[in-house]
Amino acid sequence: MEKIKAILSASHEVTARFVETEGPKILSLVEKTCEVFRNGGKLLVFGNGGSAADAQHLAAELVNRFKRERTPLPALALTTDTSILTAVANDYDFSLVFVKQIEALGRAGDIALGISTSGRSPNVLKALARARELGLFTVGLTGGTGGGMPEVSDLVITVPSEETPRIQEGHLLFIHVFSELIEEAYFGK
């Protein structure tokens, strides 16, 4: 029980600092995303491992619904098409699995949101760099020092921890807060 309480305490501490330090950035991203949606743009989300699951989770909350019945919002996880992922990895290199999809699906004015707990995932960084070149608004969702995210992102949202589980808990909190705020801002209260 003491170990469980210690984990819970550490999680609360990190998420509280995360909301305090990154809350204004999240609000800014909500405004930007609503603007992009109103202008016919979309949100492209990607990451590896647990971050791939987070990308899918975020896209599902926006396309389906979060807390209320509403029309779908245009979000796509670039982590779900195994044929594309394996073809690009086999024919080129795994570091290009998201770049190719950004080139195929991204348009100037869209948002590319890359998720990496360390901020050092080569395929995420390359995709954000390419998205920026193509005129997409780039967002890095990360932890710790942010790794290479600041160099390739217009906006970096960072969970203030070096521990992967705490960073991932912060990312889950981001997904839920962001989804709820998008619903309210885009569709009204």
User: pLDDT for 145-178, tens place per residue?
Assistant: 999 999 999 999 999 999 999 999 999 999 999 9
| 61 annotated ligand binder | yes
| 176 annotated ligand binder | yes
Task: Report the alpha-carbon distance of residue 170 to residue 84 in Å, rounded.
Answer: 29
| 168 annotated ligand binder | yes
Tokens of 133: 């070149």
- Sheet bearing 155-159, strands edge to edge: 75-77, 43-47, 111-115, 137-143, 155-159
Tell which CATH classification among 3.40.50.10490, 3.40.630.30, 3.90.1570.10, 1.10.260.30 matches the domain 2-187: 3.40.50.10490
Query: Does 49 or 188 have the greater pLDDT score?
Result: 49
Q: Give the model's confidence band at 118: pLDDT under 50 very low, under 70 low, under 90 confident, else very high.
A: very high
Inter-residue long-range contacts of 126-133, CB under 8 Å, 24+ positions, other chains counted: 126/95, 126/96, 126/98, 126/99, 127/46, 127/78, 127/98, 127/99, 127/101, 127/102, 128/152, 128/153, 130/99, 130/102, 130/103, 131/44, 131/102, 131/106
pLDDT tens for 67-100 read 999 999 999 999 999 999 999 999 999 999 999 9
pLDDT tens for 15-49 read 999 999 999 999 999 999 999 999 999 999 999 99
Per-domain residue ranges of the chain = 2-187
159 DSSP assignment: E
| 118 annotated ligand binder | yes
| 56 annotated ligand binder | no
| 117 annotated ligand binder | yes
As a whole number of angstroms, the longest Cα–Cα distance in the chain is 51
Task: Report the alpha-carbon distance of residue 187 to residue 68 in Å, rounded.
Answer: 10
